[in-house]
């Protein structure tokens, strides 16, 4: 049995975090549960905030985004902040408003792709529906349907031999998960949601629901140090950031964890990184610590560093040709500093040097990632937040394989290394 000091213990805790978080709303609920257990109390955006040095709080916007902070002993304008950012959403499918599809003697559930999923990885898996429903009267409820009620069955090769030249999936026609045979009398998704929420079907007046893989996250690999799981991008960094924040001692500087929704679809929402959530929270923090100083927000932001934490690409065992030959991060090799000449990542000389120094303090190795010159580069909340707030930002992340697959792969050995690195950044 692993002990708390076992180097796999944090990886096991990450697996539990992923299993508890089938949707962004569930991820926020799990973050809130862990923060509450550690003494952080929730603030509402509609209330007036009274903040004392050392106070630890969190605030949730629209169910899918969360910001947690521990107020430092020094005013923000003179000390700045240390922030870790990550995202709560992952590529999936979102349930449509009119979702009761009936064809070929089956009852299916209409869904719409969300983000850049590797579509074929969703075939032949045990799926469920999870997320948030709006109830009559303005209340909400988290729901996750029990069991594995949905499935996207492959077409048998005997019925389409052209699949040997490559599988083409039309999301509108081919990726409609099947619920049941259409017997006319059995309950559909609407009834199942109401039952799961403990209300009448008429009381469910809206929903933000996604498909989720039901197979629990697992130890994998020959020595059991790998983690095979859904949604590691970017729940792994939400988990590492939270773990680092909870372990960090209170200090002079205010420490912040921001977990945004909607990164996989461009971050353009009120709770996404292009929205005002982080700027609003910083403005309110500064209003308390530096009242009446109209320059305080700008001084605080200029003295701060945001570590944008999102998974990076480990070198692929059979497709190493898709990587820049001098930059091939390894699973278990520690945090990856991500750089891009075209600013798809926010990391610059000062930022990468600062992060590498923090890693050295923590005894954590650093790896570097850049894209090949003949391939486009992904992006993160880092450049968006840096552009919006003018906050110095560095893009980092644990290495992984199969990013955006329904079932991704990372190393449990990288979890304590990420937590150590992010902890050193928050303590700086």
Contacting Zn ion within 111-130 (CB under 5 A): none
Q: How many whole angstroms separate alpha carbon 350 and alpha carbon 183?
A: 64
Report the nearest approach of Zn ion to the CB of residue 380 (Å). Answer: 6
Size of the site for Zn ion (CB under 5 A): 3
**Is 89 among the residues that bind Zn ion (CB under 5 A)?**
no
Contacting Zn ion within 139-178 (CB under 5 A): none
From the list 72, 48, 36, the residue with the least C-alpha distance to 256 is: 72
Report the nearest approach of Zn ion to the CB of residue 24 (Å). Answer: 12
Q: How many whole angstroms separate alpha carbon 132 and alpha carbon 89?
A: 13
Nearer to Zn ion, 208 or 234 (CB): 234
Assigned token pair, 170: 């039309």
Q: How many whole angstroms separate alpha carbon 227 and alpha carbon 204?
A: 36
Report the nearest approach of Zn ion to the CB of residue 87 (Å). Answer: 6
**Is 261 among the residues that bind Zn ion (CB under 5 A)?**
no
CB under 5 A: which stretch of 125-133, 160-168, 280-288, 302-310 binds Zn ion? Answer: 302-310
Nearer to Zn ion, 290 or 310 (CB): 310
Report the nearest approach of Zn ion to the CB of residue 233 (Å). Answer: 4
Quick one: residue 79, left, alpha or beta (phi over 0 = left, psi -120 to 50 = alpha)?
alpha
Q: Is 305 exposed, middle or buried (0-12, 13-18, 19+ CB in 10 A)?
A: buried
Report the nearest approach of Zn ion to the CB of residue 412 (Å). Answer: 19
From the list 66, 50, 82, 63, the residue with the least C-alpha distance to 285 is: 50
Nearer to Zn ion, 248 or 259 (CB): 259
Nearer to Zn ion, 14 or 77 (CB): 14
> Where are the extended beta strands (E) located within 62-202?
65-70, 81-87, 92-103, 106-114, 127-135, 139-144, 178-181
Site string for Zn ion, 199-238 (x = CB under 5 A): ----------------------------------xx----
CB under 5 A: which stretch of 171-179, 292-300, 308-316, 388-396 binds Zn ion? Answer: 308-316
What is the CA 201 to chain-centroid distance, rounded? Answer: 31
CB under 5 A: which stretch of 20-28, 189-197, 309-317, 348-356 binds Zn ion? Answer: 309-317
What is the CA 13 to chain-centroid distance, rounded? Answer: 16
**25 Cβ neighbours under 8 A, 6+ residues apart:** 63, 64, 131, 132, 142, 208
Report the nearest approach of Zn ion to the CB of residue 381 (Å). Answer: 8
Q: How many whole angstroms separate alpha carbon 53 and alpha carbon 51?
A: 7
Report the nearest approach of Zn ion to the CB of residue 420 (Å). Answer: 21
Site string for Zn ion, 20-39 (x = CB under 5 A): --------------------
Nearer to Zn ion, 30 or 89 (CB): 89
Nearer to Zn ion, 25 or 289 (CB): 25
Report the nearest approach of Zn ion to the CB of residue 359 (Å). Answer: 20
Report the nearest approach of Zn ion to the CB of residue 163 (Å). Answer: 30
158 secondary structure, DSSP code:
G
Element housing 244 (H / E): helix 232-247
**Is 310 among the residues that bind Zn ion (CB under 5 A)?**
yes
**Inter-residue long-range contacts of 222-226, CB under 8 Å, 24+ positions, other chains counted:** 224/8, 225/8, 225/11, 225/332, 225/411, 225/412, 225/413, 226/331, 226/409, 226/410, 226/411, 226/412
Q: Which residues bind Zn ion (CB under 5 A)?
A: 233-234, 310
């Amino acid at each position: 049995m692993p002990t708390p000091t076992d180097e796999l213990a944090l990886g096991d805790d990450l697996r539990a975090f992923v299993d508890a978080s089938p949707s962004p709303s569930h991820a926020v609920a799990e973050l809130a549960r862990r923060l509450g257990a550690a003494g952080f109390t929730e603030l509402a955006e509609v209330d007036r905030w009274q903040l004392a040095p050392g106070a630890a709080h969190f605030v949730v916007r629209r169910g899918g985004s969360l910001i947690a902070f521990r107020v430092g002993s020094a005013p923000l304008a003179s000390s700045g902040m240390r922030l870790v950012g990550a995202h709560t959403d992952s590529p999936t499918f979102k349930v449509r408003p009119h979702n009761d599809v009936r064809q070929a003697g089956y009852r299916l559930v209409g869904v719409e792709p969300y983000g850049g999923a590797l579509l074929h990885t969703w075939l032949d898996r045990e799926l469920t529906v999870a997320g948030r429903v709006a109830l009559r009267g303005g209340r909400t409820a988290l729901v996750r349907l029990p069991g594995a009620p949905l499935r996207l069955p492959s077409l048998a090769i005997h019925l389409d031999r052209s699949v040997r030249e490559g599988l083409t999936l039309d999301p509108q026609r081919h990726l409609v998960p099947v619920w049941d045979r259409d017997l006319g009398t059995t309950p559909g998704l609407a009834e199942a949601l109401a039952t799961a929420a403990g209300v009448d079907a008429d009381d469910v007046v809206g929903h933000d629901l996604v498909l989720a893989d039901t197979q629990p996250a697992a130890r994998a690999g020959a020595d059991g140090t790998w983690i095979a799981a859904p949604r590691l991008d970017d729940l792994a960094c939400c988990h590492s950031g939270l773990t680092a924040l909870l372990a960090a001692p209170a200090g002079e500087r205010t420490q912040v964890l921001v977990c945004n929704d909607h990164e996989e679809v461009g971050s353009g929402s009120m709770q996404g990184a292009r929205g005002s959530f982080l700027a609003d929270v910083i403005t309110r923090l500064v209003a308390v610590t530096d009242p009446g100083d109209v320059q305080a927000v700008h001084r605080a932001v200029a003295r701060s560093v945001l570590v944008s934490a999102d998974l990076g690409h480990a070198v692929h065992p059979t497709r190493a040709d898709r990587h820049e030959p001098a930059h091939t991060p390894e699973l278990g090799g520690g945090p990856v500093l991500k750089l891009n000449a075209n600013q798809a990542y926010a990391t610059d000389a000062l930022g990468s040097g600062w992060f590498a120094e923090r890693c050295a303090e923590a005894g954590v190795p650093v790896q570097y990632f850049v894209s090949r010159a003949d391939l486009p580069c992904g992006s993160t909340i880092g450049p968006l937040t840096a552009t919006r707030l003018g906050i110095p930002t560095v893009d980092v992340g644990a290495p992984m394989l199969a990013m955006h697959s329904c079932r991704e792969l990372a190393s449990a050995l990288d979890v304590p290394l990420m937590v150590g690195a992010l902890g050193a950044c928050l303590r700086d």
